[in-house]
Structure 1
Amino acid sequence: MSHDLFERHREKLEQAVAAAGTRGYWSGYKEMPSPRTYGETAQDDGIKAFQSHLGKNFEIDQPTSGAWIGAEDGPFGVALNVKYPAPDVDAMMTAAKAAMPAWRKLGPQGRAGVCMEVLERLNAMSFEIAFSVMHTTGQAFMMAFQAGGAHAQDRGLEAVAYGYSEQMRHPETVDWIKPQGKHDPLEMKKKFTAVGRGVALMVGCATFPTWNGYPGLFASLVTGNAVIVKPHPRAVLPLALTVRVIREVLSEVGIDPNLVCLAVDTLEAPITKEFALHEDTKIIDFTGSSEFGNWLEDNAKQAEVYTEKAGVNAVIIDDFDDIKGIARNLSFTFSLYSGQMCTTPQNIFIPKGGIDVNGENMSFDDVAKAIATGVEKFLSVPERAVEVLGAIQNKAILDRMEEAKKLGDVVLDTTEIDHPMFKGIKCHTPVLIKVDGKEVDKYREELFGPIVFLIATEDTNDSIAKMTQTIRENGAITLGMYSKHEDVIEAVEEAALDAGVNLSINLTGGVFVNQSAAFSDFHATGANPAANAALTDGHFVSGRFRVMQSRR
């Protein structure tokens, strides 16, 4: 049946493989919640499906300690009260490993077919998943639907396409014939098998459980591995739904569903280290803090470890004529999901002597004021603002914002906006703080959340130097710049290559530095401390399997 699934989804898979090669625009799933695409009753059905989980045990027939745990705290005030089976670590690892031989026998095409079917079913559940993402992460609905649903599914599909292509670089069998002159040739039959490394551990994050989780999850699956899905305790439901769908499809094709298990823990009693150091864990995917990501890299020596960690994303502002375009674009960029994105800029480098705008000097303070005014104007309508800002996922971010104000002069203070739909929930606008470029210690590390530093540098060359220094030291996922001088653009391009960070140039329209398009944009590079891998490239999948041969 798995090969029937491959034939059913072959066309889309081949399109995905082609798109990854050409890097143009292509998407496998519709990002707009249109009734035409998802059905007239899809949204209502999704709400009901999400609500059906609240206050109940989330049943999964997998190795468990017998306890039920869970403490997701809905950022919009919706009480989830969902309980999940607590894992028995050794039993779960044993069961997952035992399921691998049958999974291996399906081969790359069979595994790809199963993964494609899973993604199609997840796409059909996009509203249910969107509401589960929204009410665990604090993302506003549209972002939850796009980033948590269709875009996450695209990233999963991209991983399947890369993993499938990498395994198909060689034939499964070959007749090897070596001529021997006047003598009979030497002949052998050779068989090549892609073999997964072992059990993979996918450690989910609290803010983007599916978008950040699907690449590693599907890359490991398609390359022949079992997967333990370990969600962040604050955002379990989206990945629990995902695991349930995967297990259903595995059962339908005759594979032990314990190939993929859900490992839930709590903030008070974490279990990630126990899984990470298990001798059978051979792959780890992690998104989260630099501290724990570095610990995994340093200690989980038996595993291939892929990490995405903290970074100090930056924007360099040089002479530029469309200051309104800068302010408009950055206002959305700073505000989207209250800056709780690994791609949101923190450090905005501006020459203290100002910039040239249409032949006239615009002072640093005026540039800062223009950006601040843009943020205020953009968020001036509460009904619109809350659909961009969403809710603060972790209250520690609010404390961090207050502490950040002490580091410099507040150009724009954060304000609270009452959410019109969820009583008692307050959304928070970004805080913009002016600091001197010489005070690198104030902005050299990431302060996660809607915190923006407007940094006064000696000149644009100093901006480039400070950007390069901070990214080399602490990493970044994104870098943006604005300049009307080609030589400056070339200089920043070279600096970005040296710093190992992806660059966006002169964005003033409907594309933003903190957005990343599957099949075209590489998310992170693996070339600076913010991440040791990129989503998605050949390196991200090739280390998850090995090719074994037999010959006769």
Structure 2
Amino acid sequence: MARTLPHPSPTAAAAPARLIARHRTTLDRALTAVRTREHWSPYPEDTRVYGPGGAADGEASLRALLGRPFELGQPGRDGTVGPAPERGGERSPYGFDLGISYAHHDPAVLLPALAAALPAWRDAGPEVRAAVCLEILDRINARSPEFAAAAEHTSGHNPVMALHAGAVHAQDRGLEAVAYAYAEQTRLPASAHWRKPQGPGRTVDIHKRFTAVPRGISLVVGNSVFPAWNGYPGLFASLATGNPVLVKPHPAAVLPLALTVRLAREVLAEAGFDPNLVCLAPEHPGEGLARRLATAPEVRLVDYSGRTAFADWLHEHARQARVFTALSAVNSLLVESTGDYRDMLANLAFSVSLYSGQLCTSPQNLLIPRGGIATDEGHKAYEEVVADLGTALDALLGDDGAACEVLGALLGPEVLARVDLAMSGALGPVGVPSRAVRHPAYPDAVVRTPVVVTLDAARDADRATLLAERLGPVCLAVAVDSAAAGVELVAETTKTCGALSVGLYSVSEEVTEAMTAACAEAGVMLSTNLMGDWYISQSAVYSDLHGTGMNPAGNAVYSDGAFVAERFRTVVVRRYGGAT
């Protein structure tokens, strides 16, 4: 039986109009940015903007949450997840338990509650939905230092990465999705008056109404690396197109999405909507809740970022739903020649070190012609390039405190195991060894500098090694026969394993054109000759497209029209007005 909602108060009933007035300018500016692809963001990157204490305020807010239950007031509570790690509780990669417990909910109660919230949200229309979504993002943004601290102590981000990927850039991705959702839903007019001449003196008159109808409940399956940055596009694209959203967080990174859901529920209730439009579904250890939810008949949309194996399972079994995936990637970078050898090395060192190589856009395979490269300092042999990269890494990461600001902490023991395997020589000769870094504030944090392994693409065993993702601070310096062979290997790797980014250093127009053509065919973004403080792993929201959907790294793009258009359908009502 459908649940009857209480009649909203006059204040609540007026809230959508106020929210439209408050956020219309921001929405219009976002619509302009995604059209022009210019630089723009309403969310500042400086923590001092959010309060006098900056990052310290966020840390204090996080500390106030530790060791306590996190309440959301959702229906169907049937137990508790956490707080101990063996009961599903989170542990900071910096070496301590968060001690937060979350309510567990019976899907048989939670899913009907989400479904019951849909009609009023659908009937509110695209503009109201966009305004409410922007208010949610506005409230999240106001607490960016807290979200940054949550990202740091669930995903192991360094402080800058935590603020960017865990807070403001995630908010940008959410707003970007709302802008695309609004544009697609309003591409057709809300109504039209259709007249067709039927002969001399006679015209058929029909009134038509076009309504965007949501697909149904949307499931967002979070990951532990970037729960907000990867979660917000699907969450806000679905919500803005009228779909209730159930968030199933990764057990190791519940807090960032729990904070998001709590603020979303508060805003929805204040605007006169059922807060159960957005719910959280933490899971018990080993429960496999994502599989149960993804195959529920009520779930019509699934957003997942993570391992390819589970994505394949979703495509095979969640046949009632449209599944959007962002998956594992093996990113390559070809070094053919450069006009600024030292700046290139510095850029490469930072790129392979940032967040300990745990970004989905981090370069893994550095392809270098075995005969060496041309530079502004003269010819450099393959061995010299590898050694000089090691020197650049030492300069960047030689001080433990400074290194931690770049590296962050390793996500878990499986990442450390990859580093240890590479250091053992099992993958190939070690060109630049990794070292343990002691964090000045968190002595139990596991921090490692990148290990560079030297491989030869001509050897079958080495070729197999480079055709696999090795998330973490493991970099493979691969000798190739020539620039042309390097371009071919990039194309093969992308088509076989998937990639989100490809890099090139070259002063040759011929090589650049060849790589450009190869990347266009393989369906992957190419960055050439990046220098200074812009890196291959970075993605500019409102301008860059994250993913293409054309290679095995996923079928979704953050964001484009296709990412949101599948989340609703347009239904037409025709009313005959007569013939004259």
Q: How does 1:146-185 map to 2 (within 5 A)?
A: 146-185=164-203
Q: CA deviation at 1:38?
A: 1.6
What CA distance in whole angstroms lies between the structure 2 residues aligned with 1:253 and 1:335? 44
- The match for 1:49 is 61
Q: CA deviation at 1:491?
A: 0.4
What CA distance in whole angstroms lies between the structure 2 residues aligned with 1:338 and 1:160? 31
| Correspondence 1:293 to 2:311 | yes
Q: CA deviation at 1:401?
A: 1.6
What CA distance in whole angstroms lies between the structure 1 residues aligned with 2:485 and 2:511? 12
- The match for 1:428 is 448
Q: Which runs of 5+ in 1 are unaligned?
A: none
| Correspondence 1:13 to 2:57 | no
- The match for 2:152 is 134
Letter in 2 for 1:325: D
- The match for 1:69 is 81
| Correspondence 1:379 to 2:397 | yes
- The match for 1:408 is 428
| Correspondence 1:31 to 2:45 | yes
What CA distance in whole angstroms lies between the structure 2 residues aligned with 1:39 and 1:379? 31
Q: CA deviation at 1:200?
A: 0.4
What CA distance in whole angstroms lies between the structure 1 residues aligned with 2:417 and 2:163? 29
Letter in 2 for 1:171: P
Q: CA deviation at 1:266?
A: 3.8
Selected match of 2:221 from 203, 213, 216 = 203
- The match for 1:228 is 246
1:273 is paired with a residue of what secondary structure? helix
Selected match of 1:242 from 260, 263, 280 = 260
What CA distance in whole angstroms lies between the structure 2 residues aligned with 1:536 and 1:77? 35
1:350 is paired with a residue of what secondary structure? strand
What CA distance in whole angstroms lies between the structure 2 residues aligned with 1:187 and 1:132? 58
Q: How many residues align?
A: 550
What CA distance in whole angstroms lies between the structure 2 residues aligned with 1:95 and 1:370? 59
2:96 is paired with a residue of what secondary structure? coil
Q: How does 1:86-485 map to 2 (within 5 A)?
A: 86-358=104-376, 360-404=378-422, 405-438=425-458, 439-485=462-508
CA contact (8 A) 1:76 1:138 kept: yes
1:412-442 superposed Cα distances (whole Å, 9 cap, x missing partner):
1110111001133241101100011123111
- The match for 2:519 is 496
Percent identical: 43
What CA distance in whole angstroms lies between the structure 2 residues aligned with 1:424 and 1:42? 25
Selected match of 1:4 from 18, 28, 33 = 18
CA contact (8 A) 2:93 2:446 kept: no
What CA distance in whole angstroms lies between the structure 2 residues aligned with 1:365 and 1:244? 53
What CA distance in whole angstroms lies between the structure 2 residues aligned with 1:39 and 1:256? 31
Letter in 1 for 2:445: I
Letter in 2 for 1:347: N
CA contact (8 A) 1:68 1:86 kept: yes
What CA distance in whole angstroms lies between the structure 2 residues aligned with 1:333 and 1:18? 31
CA contact (8 A) 2:245 2:279 kept: yes
Q: 1:408 to 1:41 in 2, by over 3 A?
A: closer
Q: 1:44 to 1:328 in 2, by over 3 A?
A: closer
What CA distance in whole angstroms lies between the structure 1 residues aligned with 2:377 and 2:261? 58
2:109 is paired with a residue of what secondary structure? helix
1:61-95 superposed Cα distances (whole Å, 9 cap, x missing partner):
11334211031011112321111111211211111
- The match for 1:550 is 573
CA contact (8 A) 1:326 1:371 kept: no
2:25 is paired with a residue of what secondary structure? helix
What CA distance in whole angstroms lies between the structure 1 residues aligned with 2:113 and 2:136? 21
CA contact (8 A) 2:386 2:432 kept: no
Q: CA deviation at 1:267?
A: 4.1
Letter in 2 for 1:258: N
1:43-68 superposed Cα distances (whole Å, 9 cap, x missing partner):
44433321221111111111334211
What CA distance in whole angstroms lies between the structure 2 residues aligned with 1:205 and 1:39? 29
1:283-342 superposed Cα distances (whole Å, 9 cap, x missing partner):
111010111112112221111111011011000110223221221001111111111110
CA contact (8 A) 2:191 2:208 kept: yes
Letter in 1 for 2:275: P
1:157-188 superposed Cα distances (whole Å, 9 cap, x missing partner):
00000000110101111111112342331111
Deviates most, 472-481 or 355-364: 355-364
CA contact (8 A) 1:64 1:85 kept: no
Q: Which runs of 5+ in 2 are unaligned?
A: 1-14, 83-88, 576-580
Letter in 1 for 2:293: F
Deviates most, 182-191 or 153-162: 182-191
CA contact (8 A) 2:430 2:454 kept: yes
RMSD: 1.2
Letter in 2 for 1:81: G
Deviates most, 107-116 or 349-358: 349-358
Letter in 2 for 1:92: L
Q: 1:455 to 1:119 in 2, by over 3 A?
A: same
1:330 is paired with a residue of what secondary structure? helix
Deviates most, 172-181 or 489-498: 172-181
1:493 is paired with a residue of what secondary structure? helix
1:423-472 superposed Cα distances (whole Å, 9 cap, x missing partner):
33241101100011123111101011111100011111111111111110
1:492-518 superposed Cα distances (whole Å, 9 cap, x missing partner):
000001111100000111110000010
What CA distance in whole angstroms lies between the structure 1 residues aligned with 2:162 and 2:363? 20
What CA distance in whole angstroms lies between the structure 1 residues aligned with 2:221 and 2:554? 15
Deviates most, 321-330 or 489-498: 321-330
CA contact (8 A) 1:192 1:548 kept: yes
What CA distance in whole angstroms lies between the structure 2 residues aligned with 1:50 and 1:383? 22
Selected match of 2:564 from 520, 534, 541 = 541
Q: 1:266 to 1:440 in 2, by over 3 A?
A: farther
2:246 is paired with a residue of what secondary structure? strand
CA contact (8 A) 2:51 2:57 kept: no
Selected match of 1:520 from 522, 540, 543 = 543
What CA distance in whole angstroms lies between the structure 2 residues aligned with 1:322 and 1:367? 13
Q: 1:47 to 1:277 in 2, by over 3 A?
A: same
What CA distance in whole angstroms lies between the structure 2 residues aligned with 1:315 and 1:46? 36
What CA distance in whole angstroms lies between the structure 2 residues aligned with 1:90 and 1:30? 41
What CA distance in whole angstroms lies between the structure 1 residues aligned with 2:56 and 2:385? 46
